[in-house]
C-alpha cells in the first residue's frame, strides 16, 4: 500500500501525517501503518502516526493518533496542532471543533510564537482527576501530591487525565534514569494500571522579567520531561505539557488564568490552565517535508520512500527558536 504524507512536528514531537478523509481502513491496518511509518529504524520515523479524518455535523474534521507501537491514544495535543493546520488549509478555515477519540478540542490559528513559525492555539479538557476511570488501582479517587506505593520511587505525584492519563511529579532536577524506571513500570500495564499511563518529571523555573526595572512581571516557567505511553522517553508530549500546567496550578505552584511558558527538549509552548479544568496551548505546527512510501502493514515495514519537497523556510524558522532557548 502506498501512502502520501507530510512529516511534521509540534514542539519537536514528530509524526508522519496522512489526510485520511477518503481512506477507509480497519484499525488493525492503521496500527500496522503506524508501526511501519513511525519506526525510527525505517525511512520515515516518528513518535506516532497522525490521521486527518472526516468531520460531521458538529466537528469540521477529526484526528486520530496511533503511537509507534500501534496503540491508539485518546489525544495528542502536539499532533492536534499539526492536524488542525492541515485541516484548516484543506478546508479554507481558521478555526474548528476537532473530534478526538473520546473527546473534542477547539483549535484556531494564533499569532506566531516566533517569526515564520506557524502557530495553532488549542483548548482541551476539562482535566479529570478521577483515577477510577483510568483505572488506577489505589484506594483513592484522586491523587494530588501523593506518593504511589506501587511505583519504584518515593516521589509525590498528581494524577491528571487530559483525557489520556498522566502522572506528574514536580522535581528540583529531572532524574532521567528514574523517570525511565517509573515509566517502564507503567508501560508494562500491570494489573493495577491496565491501560498504562504517561509519566512526567517537571522542573519549575523562573522566567526572566520582561524589563530589568520591573520584578512584578516575574513568572514561573515549566520544563517537562516525559516517558510517553506507547512511545517511551520523548522530547515532547503536548498532553503532558497540558497536564503539567494544570497540575502546577492545582498544587499552588502557578496561578490559574496565568500564561506560562512550558519548555521541553523539543522546544516550547505557551500554556494557560483555568480552574474549570480547561487548558489552552499555543505552539508550532511545523511541516518539514512531504512525500510517499510503500507500507507492508502486516509486517510493520516501510520502503520506497520518495520525498517530494522540503519546507526549508519553516525548518529554519523553528531551528531559530530552538537555538534561542538553548
Which residues are marked as active site?
76, 237
Nine-digit cell at 112? 506566531
Q: Residue 212, Cβ neighbours under 10 Å: how many?
A: 7
Beta bridge partners of 106: 97, 123
35 C-beta neighbours (distance < 10 Å), count = 25
From residue 210, give the alpha-carbon distance in Å to each of 83, 214, 318: 33, 7, 23
How many CA atoms does the CB half-sphere of 1 hold within 13 Å? 19
Instruction: Judge contact between 251 and 158, C-beta under 8 A.
Output: yes
How far apart, in whole angstroms, are the C-alpha atoms of residue 220 and residue 227? Answer: 23
Amino acid at each position: 500500500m502506498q501512502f502520501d504524507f507530510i512529516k511534521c512536528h509540534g514542539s519537536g514531537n514528530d509524526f508522519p501525517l496522512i489526510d485520511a478523509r477518503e481512506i477507509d481502513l480497519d484499525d488493525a491496518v492503521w496500527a500496522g501503518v503506524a508501526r511501519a511509518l513511525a519506526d525510527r529504524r525505517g525511512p520515515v520515523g516518528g513518535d506516532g502516526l497522525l490521521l486527518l479524518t472526516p468531520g460531521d455535523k458538529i466537528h469540521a474534521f477529526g484526528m486520530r493518533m496511533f503511537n509507534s507501537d500501534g496503540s491508539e491514544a485518546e489525544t495528542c495535543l502536539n499532533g492536534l496542532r499539526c492536524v488542525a493546520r492541515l485541516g484548516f488549509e484543506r478546508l479554507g478555515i481558521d478555526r474548528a471543533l476537532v473530534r478526538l477519540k473520546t473527546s473534542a478540542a477547539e483549535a484556531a490559528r494564533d499569532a506566531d510564537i516566533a517569526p515564520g513559525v506557524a502557530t495553532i492555539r488549542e483548548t482541551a479538557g476539562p482535566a479529570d482527576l478521577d483515577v477510577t476511570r483510568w483505572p488506577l488501582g489505589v484506594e483513592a479517587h484522586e491523587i494530588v501530591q501523593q506518593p504511589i506505593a506501587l511505583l519504584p520511587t518515593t516521589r509525590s505525584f498528581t494524577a491528571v487525565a487530559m483525557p489520556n492519563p498522566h502522572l506528574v511529579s514536580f522535581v528540583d532536577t529531572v532524574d532521567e534514569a528514574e523517570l525511565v524506571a517509573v515509566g517502564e513500570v507503567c508501560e508494562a500495564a500491570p494489573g493495577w494500571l491496565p491501560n498504562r499511563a504517561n509519566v512526567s518529571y517537571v522542573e519549575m523555573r523562573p522566567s526572566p522579567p520582561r524589563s530589568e526595572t520591573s520584578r512584578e512581571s516575574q513568572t514561573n516557567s515549566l520544563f517537562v520531561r516525559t516517558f510517553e505511553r506507547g512511545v517511551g522517553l520523548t522530547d515532547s508530549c503536548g498532553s503532558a505539557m497540558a497536564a503539567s500546567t494544570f497540575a502546577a496550578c492545582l498544587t499552588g505552584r502557578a496561578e490559574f488564568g496565568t500564561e506560562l511558558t512550558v519548555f521541553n527538549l523539543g522546544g516550547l509552548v505557551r500554556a494557560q490552565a483555568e480552574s474549570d479544568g480547561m487548558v489552552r496551548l499555543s505552539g508550532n505546527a511545523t511541516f518539514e517535508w512531504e512525500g510517499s512510501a510503500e507500507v507492508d502493514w502486516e509486517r510493520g515495514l516501510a520502503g520506497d520512500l520518495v520525498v517530494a519537497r522540503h519546507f526549508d523556510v519553516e525548518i529554519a524558522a523553528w531551528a531559530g527558536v530552538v537555538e534561542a532557548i538553548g
